[in-house]
Copies of this chain bind each other. A is one copy, B any other.
Amino acid sequence: MLAAVEAGGTKFVCAVGDDDFKILDKISFSTTYPEETLQRIFDFFDTCGNLKAIGIGSFGPIDINKDSKTYGYITSTPKTNWRNFNFLGAMKRHYDIPIGWTTDVNAACLGEYEVGSASDNSSCLYLTVGTGIGGGAILNGKIVEGFGHTEMGHIIIRNHPEDDFEGVCPFHKNCLEGLAAGPSIEKRYGIKAQNLDADHKVWRMIAYYLAQALMNYTLILRPEKIILGGGVMNQARMIDLVREEFSLLLANYVETPDLDSYIVTPSLGDHAAIVGGLILAQRIL
């Protein structure tokens, strides 16, 4: 059996699945302290029978450099309990089997790439837009990473002409996440994003910001498909608005697939990362 952990900042999901990545059993619980949370992972998997490998997709930033002394650690996260926590090490001490290790968004990207909306493509990019913005990409079947994992949510974009908001990112103020993630919407208007009308002008602004990001990803990576997940994308018409703004910005400069098949929502829905974890487990075998 394959095992997967989706380690999110607010919620953990653990699952076991078969070789076709069908989920056989699953549990989810709130993220608390590392020791307590790890114990809940162990309690679940220890009842699941014989595990062949585990794939972990974790919130970050994390250390993915195998030559590093802190490989497998969650590093400089704002969640102080988890800062510099040797997550992979703690898992390895309990399970003497291969364990794959990547970010939650890379895991989601892998899920969509192998069995989701990009299963016919050789490259794709996954972006989640919620309380934060994070992305992962795959080119020729391999996760895009180098000196470290990607941090696509913090790229520089420009303010909308009608938006003088200074941004909420503690590092960069008005980077993509600072202007377009859920908390930026709440900070602007004093109410939660999901309580704003569907025809509120903010949605067009958010679409403009996401379209800028998608334009930059397109020019820098040339993925065959871009998959947009996360709470903000649940807003009615958001995907259409993003396609419209993207088309205006790109101005036909490079060829892309037809936008209806280029910019899509995840076909695995909320399961992309946990299924990706199962795939990561199989890849590590």
Contact = CB atoms under 8 A, between A and B. Distances in A.
A49 interface: no
A171 interface: yes
Given A171-B251, A251-B171, A222 B147 contact: yes
A155 B215 contact: yes
B222 A155 contact: no
A148 B122 CA distance: 12
A241 interface: no
Number of copies: 2
Interface size grouping (class) on chain A = 35 or more
Interface in A118-161: 122-123, 137, 139-140, 142, 144-152, 154-159
Interface string A239-256: 000000000010111111
B216 A220 contact: yes
A71 to B, nearest CB: 13
Ordered nearest first, which 4 A-B pairs have the shortest CB separation?
A146-B222, A158-B158, A123-B146, A155-B216
18 contacts: A137-B220, A139-B142, A139-B144, A140-B142, A144-B220, A144-B222, A147-B223, A147-B255, A148-B254, A148-B255, A150-B220, A151-B253, A154-B219, A155-B219, A156-B215, A157-B158, A158-B158, A216-B220
A146 B225 CA distance: 10
A6 interface: no
Given A148-B254, A151-B219, 16 more contacts: A61-B254, A123-B147, A139-B145, A139-B146, A140-B142, A144-B220, A146-B224, A149-B222, A152-B220, A156-B158, A156-B216, A171-B251, A171-B253, A172-B251, A172-B253, A216-B216
